[in-house]
Amino acid sequence: MKKILIYLTIVFSVVCGQDKNNNVYADGIAAVVGEHIVLKSDIAQLVNMAAAQQRLNPSTDIEKLLLLQNEVVRSVVDQKIILEMAAVDSIEVEDKDVDRALDQQIEMFISQSGGEEQAEEMLGQSLKSFRREFWYEMKDRLTTERYQQTLINKISVSRADVESFFYTYKDSLPIFPMMVKMRHLLIAVEAGEDSRRLAYDKLSNIRKKIIGGDSFEELASLYSQDPGSRQKGGSLGFVRRGSLVSEFESVAFSQKVNVVSEIIETQFGYHIIETEEKRGDKIRVRHILIVPEIVEEDESLSYKYALTLKDTAETLKDFKRLTALYSKDAQTKEIGGDLGWINPNKSPIPEISQIIGLLDIGVCSLPVRTEQGYHLFWVDSYRQGGRPSLAMHWPEIEGMALNHKRSEWYGDWIADVRERFYIQINNW
């Protein structure tokens, strides 16, 4: 990744210039769009970001880098045009939306690169500097996206449009997979009282050691059962409010810095938490997690419980009622466990692909064990796969036709709008 950034710095050194310390400085004019000036340094920054995200190799991807540069220039030119049109139609975004989107962008960089330092190396600048410099670019991006969405949402398709699209493109349409419309009821496998007490006592002893002066980081590396943070000494890095489970977040955001919390319980197990730094709605936090052990007796009890519910769910009405009362899937329990239309080979529950041929329509399944617990499944209907058919695959084809019409309309619209603006793109 560092090689990519170095290469791009060399590429753009002619564009932007460099000081004696090899720092890129402003600048020249890349393009003029109406009354807007696009700086070459801005283009360079966007290309740097895109190249880093795509992990382009400077030794083998020279042509791709040049194409990327041209794509970025054209995209920025179109963005300036759209911003002008958005201003006429009073399309705006709030600062809080910009902040949220920028936080997500930075978190993605941190996640992709493996840490804040690596992210700064990838970006070629500090995260603080990136946030400051990229804030207005993000606002422009969000405004552009909102205006584009406003435009294309006005486009719809008639039955005649869908049929015309189908008969025009049917030979190039993909083979559709078999789909199943189904529901589920999730019973979590929970540890018994003895396992919970042992886990609590273990974490209590760890906490005492930390209070006594032992290293939080070392003990987290030795004992924490959170695989995502264990190798980082329990560190979760910077997290923003709303991204953690409520019990954890309430303590992490309210407690004093560099104080080890009392033991708290979440759906994942028992935690001790240390908040290391606070920055408004973001904190840098670390924790140690101990998970109560699931024993054979716990498995047996959960299976028998799920089996009892299966015997009670004789009708769809029964299944929906039981799901609302007992399912541990918070996202679906209030909608009757509805998972929507699922491609069994791309299901959020991988085990579905293994049992799909064994499930009858309108009959509650036997309990199926996954890493989440025991599921009861209910199939509403099947949709056969194969070559595209208007009769069998109308929803999918309608969606394709709509996207096609919107794409064509937008292409014509932006081409027409370009004609109304003075545009000058300078040679690099």
Question: What does the pLDDT read at residue 3?
Answer: 33
pLDDT in tens, the chain (428 residues): 333 332 333 333 333 444 434 444 446 887 787 777 777 877 777 777 777 677 776 677 778 878 887 888 888 888 888 888 888 888 888 988 998 888 888 888 787 777 778 878 777 778 888 888 889 889 988 999 999 999 999 999 999 999 999 999 999 999 999 899 999 999 999 999 999 999 999 999 999 999 999 999 999 999 999 988 998 999 998 888 888 899 999 999 999 999 999 999 998 999 999 999 998 888 999 999 999 999 999 999 999 999 999 999 999 999 999 999 999 999 999 999 999 999 888 887 888 888 887 889 999 999 999 989 999 999 999 988 899 999 889 989 999 999 999 999 999 998 898 888 887 877 65
Can you list the domains of the chain with their CATH numbers? 2-153 (1.10.4030.10), 159-175+387-423 (no CATH), 179-190+295-383 (3.10.50.40), 193-290 (3.10.50.40)
Q: Give the residue ranges of DSSP H helices in 213-365.
A: 216-223, 246-254, 296-312, 316-326, 352-355
- Looking at residue 310, its amino acid is K
Which is it for strands 29-33 and 36-39: parallel, antiparallel or unpaired?
antiparallel
| Cα 71 from Cα 244, distance rounded (Å) | 37
* β-strand partners of 283: 239, 278
Cα-to-chain-centroid distance, residue 267: 22
| Cα 1 from Cα 20, distance rounded (Å) | 23
pTM of the model: 0.62
Question: What does the pLDDT read at residue 26?
Answer: 46
